[in-house]
Amino acid sequence: MPEGDTVWRTARSLHEVLAGQTLTTFDLRVPQHATADLAGSTVREVVARGKHILHRIDEPGGDAWTLHTHLKMDGSWHRYKRGSRWQRPAHTVRAVLDTAEWQTVGYLLGVVDLVRTADEDTVVGHLGPDLLGPDWDPRVAAANLARDPEREIGVALLDQRNLAGLGTIYRAELCFLRGVSPWRPVGEVDDLPGMVALARRIIGANRDRVERTFTGSLRRDRYWVYGREHEACRRCGTTIERGHLGPPTMERVAYRCPVCQP
């Protein structure tokens, strides 16, 4: 699943071509919104909220709407100059928003909602502070994590109600950098504010990069532990372990060095 930095870049790319422009096509190819038509309306902005994308659109009559989408595992947004060939099959399209110069196409979007902008909280109001957003508040994020001291820190970090934007890659690398096993209970993590501060720093550093790095290298050795099961820890040489965290129906892969992250 794309993580907060990828979603932030996607929203920025869409904003660059849609903000301030009049829509010539507004086509949502999902049953619940198949008849919605905001052609003739103006896109005010496109922003990310954690892993969610919000198109804020103003109708000529004054009504304001928000197109809320989530990429989930397989979704993506592409932008094309008018007349360009789409890069993926038409049957995978879930949304098309066109202007006079650009086409923006959402493929295999996991969530497509259309709500009044005044009602945005119904779709994103549950999210905690956004690591890359203007609402970022490290004290609130740390307090949210601390609310359930028995919960594994790796599970708590992926709960978007605590802080919004982290996924399995950031969890793995963040826990390694802090020397904390993702299976450790939150109540046994010594410095939650320090962990939250580092999360903000590393996702901010990677925000403008297509290829993330956590080691400082831009070559293949960009990760400390993620995806490196059975390989040697770059710090101590111990074999990296892989396991799963989360409730039975929501398990996600996790990694750790058993020496560096006891």
Q: What is the pLDDT of residues 159-212, one digit of tens each?
A: 999 999 999 999 999 999 999 999 999 999 999 999 999 999 999 999 999 899
Share of the chain above pLDDT 70, in %: 100
| Contacts made by residues 146-149, CB under 8 angstroms, sequence distance 24+ | 146/186, 146/187, 146/192, 148/186, 149/185, 149/186, 149/187
User: Residue 250 phi/psi, 5° resolution?
Assistant: -130, 25
pLDDT at position 250: 85
What average pLDDT does the segment 73-90 reach? 96
Does position 219 have pLDDT exceeding 90, yes or no?
A: no
What average pLDDT does the segment 148-165 reach? 98
Q: What is the pLDDT of residues 7-41, one digit of tens each?
A: 999 999 999 999 999 999 999 999 999 999 999 99
pLDDT at position 125: 97
The pLDDT confidence band at residue 61, using thresholds 50, 70 and 90, is: confident
pLDDT at position 92: 98
Q: Which residues are catalytic?
A: 2-3, 51, 252
DSSP-based three-state secondary structure for 15: helix
d(CA 167, CA 169): 6
